[in-house]
Amino acid sequence: MKHFGSCLFLVITFVSLSPFGAQATPDIPPFYAAASKIKPDGKLGQVVKREKINTPIPNAQAWRIAYISSDVNDLKTISTGLLISPVGQAPKEGRPIVSWSHGTTGSAQNCGPSQQINPAVPLNEYYLKNGNSWEDYGVLSLAELIKEGYVVVATDYQGLGGGGKHQYAVGQTQGRDAINAIRAAGAVKELGANKKALLYGWSEGGYSVLSAGGSREYLAQKGTAFDGIELVGVVAISPVNLSGVAQYALMSAEGNADQAMNKISAPLSGNIFLWGHLAGMMYGLQAAYPNKLQLTDWFTPEGAAVFDQLSNNKCFHVLSDSLTYSYGDNYKSLVRQDPINSKAWIDLMIAGGIPNSVPTMPVLVFRGTKDAVPKPMVDIYEAQMCKMGGNIKHIELDEATHFTSPVEAQQAFLPWIKDRFANKPAVNACP
């Protein structure tokens, strides 16, 4: 009875600390509600649900899909997303597959970009003048890729419509969702896909595709819904590189995990928008490793309660608005002054991120010179992979911001993608 009373007091305290009222969860459309109840018992990449939708892209057809994936711990999941293909008969050699990994949308079940009313469209960004939603959605360069004759697939990631808790910024989980999206596209036989595939992504999605590109064993697995993927290239735009920064911070702190944690946190705590991403990363990491990490290792009790409630209810930009309204310049009060268990957090940032193995395919990386993603995140990746013998090309986009870099990168990456599918050699641009 004494133990029960203590637990009840803790629950009441958490609720009373939250300025947002009682916990609730958002409604999701029927397709996703049904998908979240499906057990992921089949093969990786197996399409378990499909729904035809409209698309304004000329000569294209589109579907919402739910498919089987797995996370960083090899636990099978249901992920959702979009599948878009040219109409008509595929050429004799088949159609290559391009897999898009989106940027940050949030952690709630209603934050999957495919849940938009008209999702099979070119990338539509919240912050740009043509943004017409509470989150980014759509697929970068979709019309151009369809015109080239490619099958395009775009994962929502696990936890954003297919049930489960989203493991935000755990690169290997999102990378596996992108790989299994390729398998899902290949498994839909009537689309006529061949084995050649390419990954491209932005921001969180950049981390996803860099992680996937280094996941040799996962790519080579047999017994999937579509074995034998031939990955010909990776395009990462403004990629987050949490694992690389964690490795560098731990090294520069000479193994002192608390100092390393501060080196990771400080550059991402300068304003409430950046801090919201940092807090989301910590939230997503704990979701991936619930038996090893606790939110209250890093957050205060109030911070843990508030961020858990917001993350389960709201997509990222609206979440940021709620933080700004309720905390303003006091957002740092939601973090412990003395975070604990730092070594475990840093070790798992590294373990869940970009594998320490050189990608066997060429990698093209973009970052805007005015990007919110710090340049060292890209520099660290380039240095690590070039040292191991990778073929990495890093382009800094002059004056581009985090939100203009995807569109500005198109001029360079579209012909680069075409060359990869044409088996043209990529000149190694490593320093």
pLDDT band, residue 399 (cuts 50/70/90)? very high
Residue 163 confidence (pLDDT) above 50 = yes
DSSP code string of 321-353: HHHHHHHGGGGGGGB-SS---HHHHHHHHHHTS
Residue 380 confidence (pLDDT) above 60 = yes
pLDDT band, residue 16 (cuts 50/70/90)? very low
Rounded to whole angstroms, the Cα distance separating 179 from 202 reads 16
pLDDT band, residue 2 (cuts 50/70/90)? very low
47-51, 126-130, 205-209, 362-366: which range is least confident on average?
126-130
pLDDT score, position 167: 98
Residues 6+ apart with CB under 8 A from 398: 369
Residue 425 confidence (pLDDT) above 80 = yes
The arithmetic mean of pLDDT across residues 336-351, rounded, is: 97
β 76-86/95-101 pair status? unpaired
Rounded to whole angstroms, the Cα distance separating 199 from 231 reads 8
Rounded to whole angstroms, the Cα distance separating 46 from 68 reads 5
Is 0.85 surpassed by the pTM of this model? yes
Residue 1 confidence (pLDDT) above 60 = no
Question: 188 exposed, middle or buried (CB, 10 Å; 0-12, 13-18, 19+)?
Answer: buried
Whether the Cβ atoms of residue 207 and residue 333 lie closer than 8 Å to each other: no
The arithmetic mean of pLDDT across residues 256-267, rounded, is: 95
- Enter the tokens of residue 71: 């996370």
The arithmetic mean of pLDDT across residues 111-128, rounded, is: 97
The arithmetic mean of pLDDT across residues 25-37, rounded, is: 94
pLDDT band, residue 127 (cuts 50/70/90)? very high
pLDDT score, position 86: 98
pLDDT band, residue 26 (cuts 50/70/90)? confident
Domain positions in the chain? 26-431
Residues 6+ apart with CB under 8 A from 221: 44, 227
Architecture of domain 26-431 in this structure: 3-Layer(aba) Sandwich (3.40)
Rounded to whole angstroms, the Cα distance separating 172 from 241 reads 12
Terminus-to-terminus CA distance in the chain, angstroms?
A: 66
pLDDT score, position 148: 98
pLDDT score, position 25: 73
Residue 269 confidence (pLDDT) above 60 = yes
pLDDT score, position 27: 92
Tokens 């710090």, residue located: 374
pLDDT score, position 15: 39
Residue 141 confidence (pLDDT) above 70 = yes
Residues 6+ apart with CB under 8 A from 134: 126, 315, 317, 318
C-alpha dihedral, 220 to 222 to 226 to 231, nearest 10°: 10
Whether the Cβ atoms of residue 63 and residue 147 lie closer than 8 Å to each other: no
Question: 329 exposed, middle or buried (CB, 10 Å; 0-12, 13-18, 19+)?
Answer: exposed
pLDDT band, residue 431 (cuts 50/70/90)? confident
Q: Note the helical H segments in 188-256.
A: 204-213, 216-219, 242-252
Whether the Cβ atoms of residue 153 and residue 99 lie closer than 8 Å to each other: yes
Whether the Cβ atoms of residue 180 and residue 79 lie closer than 8 Å to each other: yes
pLDDT score, position 24: 59
Mean pLDDT of the chain: 94
β 392-401/230-237 pair status? unpaired
